[in-house]
Amino acid sequence: MFESLHQSAFIQDVIIFAKPALFNLYFALASIPAGFPFAVLLALGKASPNKWLALLSRGYIYAFRGSPLFIQFFMCYSIMLAMNQSLWKPWGIDHIVLHPLFLGPFVLVLNTSAYAAELFYGALKTVPKGEVEAAQAYGMSRWNVFRSVTWPHMLRLAWPAYSNEMVFLFHATTLVYFTLPVINEQKDLMNKATDLFERDYNVFLHFGVAALYFLLISILIFWVAGLIQKHLNSHITGDKVRLSFKPRYLR
């Protein structure tokens, strides 16, 4: 029985797709550690009293939210290529800078931080004024007010939306290899699915298994984000806001 199970096309596909799924996961996981702080900085910049800083952050967020990631990938890659002869080659880092495993997360960071910054900015605006004023009245320094009042509030308020954004980011990783060169066997789920499709035209099987992987990892991301949410809200008694598996639809 195991023999027949092993030979079924579905199981074969599930096994084949395991490695490509790691590439998608890599792109998402590599973008979050850089994208998260950058997004917080952008949100603080947009809310800052400094006019020029606010304008710059606002413009950046608007531009990267208002244009397709597909174009951003092409644009950044071609700009990087244009700077190759004058900068990257002489410095000897052209292999790193032009590699999809670097450039993919780089563009994803530029993109996701704009979306996340908008979420954090929205959360920043809803931090209760009274608490900030109370902290100031206690004579806390500006940094202390931020660290102990604004930051925890902002993070807690924005977290459900941010977990949604992480899923969008994971889905956006499909575009990396549609725009950047595929090197050898470094292929992601969509590459592999189109490859296998061109071999036997079985669109339902290959795309179906790829979709299954995306669905499962999306649910996994929601689950982990839910655990963090629980931790963030652990001091709140009474009605806890639970993160449901019902995903939000808007980015």
Partner 1 sequence: MLEFLIAQIGQWLGEDIGASLAYISNGKHLAWYASVRYTLIAAVGGATCAVLFGLLGAALKQSSFLPFKWLGDFYTTIVRGVPDVLFILFFPLAFEKGVEYILAYVKCGAENVAATTGWPPCDAAQWYLSTGDYLVMACVSLGIVYGAFAANVIHGAMMAVSRGQLEAASAYGFTPRQVFWRFKVRQMWAYALPGLSNVWMLLLKATSLLSLLQIADIVQWAGRLGAANYFPRVGLVHPDWRWKYYLVLFLFFILMTMISERFFEALQRRASRGMAITGSN
* Contact set with partner 1 (CB under 8 A): 62-63, 65-72, 74-75, 78-79, 81-82, 171-172, 174-175, 178, 190, 193-194, 197, 201, 203-204, 207, 210-211, 214-215, 218-219, 247, 249-251
What angle (nearest 5°) sits at the alpha carbon of residue 27, between those of residues 23 and 32? Answer: 145
124 HSE (CA, 13 A, CB side): 19
Provide the minimum distance between the beta carbon of 83 and partner 1 in the complex, in angstroms, as a whole number.
9
Smallest separation, CB 200 to partner 1 (Å): 8
Which CB, 70 or 91, lies closer to partner 1?
70
* Residue 224 or 236 with smaller CB distance to partner 1: 224
**Which tokens go with 99?**
């590699």
| Residue pair 163/230 in contact by the 8 Å Cβ criterion | no
3-state secondary structure of 211: helix
**Are the beta carbons of 220 and 25 closer than 8 angstroms?**
no
Residue nearer to partner 1 on the CB measure, 212 or 228 = 212
Q: Are 243 and 226 in contact (CB under 8 A)?
A: yes
Shortest distance, position 70 Cβ to partner 1, whole Å: 4
Q: How far apart are CA 172 and CA 17, in angstroms?
A: 18
Cβ closest to partner 1, residue 96 vs residue 216? 216
Question: Toward partner 1, which CB reaches closer, 199 or 235?
Answer: 199
- Distances in Å between the alpha carbon of 130 and those of 124, 136, 141, 198? 14, 10, 16, 62
CB of 171 to partner 1, least distance (A): 4
